[in-house]
Each structure stands twice: as C-alpha cells, then as structure tokens.
Chain A
C-alpha cells in the first residue's frame, strides 16, 4: 500500500509569514493528493487537492506543488493568519484504488 510521510510535525510561524509543509509518498501509481485542515474537535476538511497531471495549484493564500519524479508534494500558506492555526494532513490515493493514505499531520501555530 501507499506510505505517506509528512514534515515537520509542528510548525510555529509569525502572523503574516509563510508556512510550508512537505510530504513524500512511496507508490508512483498515486494520482490524487489532497490536503486537509483539522481544527480541534472537528472533522478533517479539504482545503486543496492536486492530481498527478498538474504540477501546481493555487487557491488564494494556499498553494500545492507536486513533483512526481521525486514523489513529493508540498503545501504553501502565505500571509498566515491566526485562523490558519490547526492540524494539517497530506494524503495520497493510488490510481484505481479507493484508500486514502494520510501523513501523520503537522500542527501549525500562527503567533500574533
């Protein structure tokens, strides 16, 4: 099955600075890479995703990049705000499979 590794496990940034979270995956057949944000006591919420035929995707202050050759993908949050404080998970899905494999999560704290 797929194995997803995520770094760092914790990240503290000053409000207004950028935050970057990196993930690697093991199976080159993976073709879908979502990112989830989870606030305390809540369910994971999809914030952005990218498919294997795309190298980069952006949605306002959030962007994701994918390097298929190196089998890694990253989440970039610019101009961080206190409401960006949460746990972020990367995940991957292998083509023609259904299972969503998660990274261990990154706790992001935005300091005011």
Chain B
C-alpha cells in the first residue's frame, strides 16, 4: 500500500512550456484533489474530483487542467507555465471518514 504517489519530485520549466504532474493512489479513494503551497498562504485548492469522470474547480484553477479517467489517477496539467506557478504542489485523497492522505509533493520552478 503506497498511499498517494506524486511524480516528479522536482521540476524546472521554462515560461510557456507545458507539463503534467502525476498523482496516483492505491486506496480506492473516490475523492482526490490538488493543492498548491506558497509561503505565508497555506495550501490552496486548485482542482478536485469526487470520482472517475467528475472534476471541479477549486480556489485557484486558472492555468491548470485536470481529468479523472480512473479512480487511481488524477494528473494535473500546466498548459503554458508562468513564473507565478512556481510553487510546491500536493496531491491528496480522502476516505469516507474524512481521512486525508497527502503525497510527498512536487517542487516546481518556472523560469
């Protein structure tokens, strides 16, 4: 049982490039979500999903895209990277009893 697995752990992008942050969980959780963490601002919700085929926007969705084709995977796509997207990204899933499990994070730098 690996929990929530995020890849890559570190990434440097140039402005305008696109990339996909991967998130996978093996706990059969229906709910998955993506957060970004910036200094002094806590964790802010980007997008979330309550099951395969169902996604919705969170607090800061602009510039990001998601899809959920399987229960296990919830990738986050940056369409055209900007320096303002430099951040640490966490994926999290939740069980039926409010148990949230976080991935180890992806540190993204956009230059």
In contact, B100 and A103 (Cβ under 8 angstroms): no
In contact, B102 and A43 (Cβ under 8 angstroms): yes
Measured CA separation A42–B98 after assembly (Å)? 21
Q: Across the interface, name the chain B residue whose C-beta is closest to A101.
A: B45
**Chain B facing A: main interface SS:** strand
Distance in Å: Cβ of A94 to nearest Cβ of chain B: 11
9 interchain residue pairs of minimum CB distance:
A102-B42, A43-B102, A104-B42, A102-B43, A98-B31, A32-B98, A105-B42, A43-B104, A44-B102
Please report B residues at the A interface, Cβ cutoff 8 Å: 31, 33, 35, 40-45, 48, 50, 58-59, 90, 92, 94, 98, 100, 102-105
> Restricting to A45-99, which residues have a CB under 8 Å from any CB of B?
45-46, 49, 89, 93, 98-99
A sample of 5 cross-chain residue pairs with beta-carbon separation below 8 angstroms, ordered by A number, consists of A6-B42, A43-B103, A49-B98, A98-B31, A102-B35
- B41 cross-chain contacts in A, Cβ below 8 A: 104
In contact, B104 and A100 (Cβ under 8 angstroms): no
* From B33, B40, B50, B103, contact of A100 by CB (8 A): B33
Known contacts A34-B100, A43-B105; is A1 also within 8 Å of B59 by CB? yes
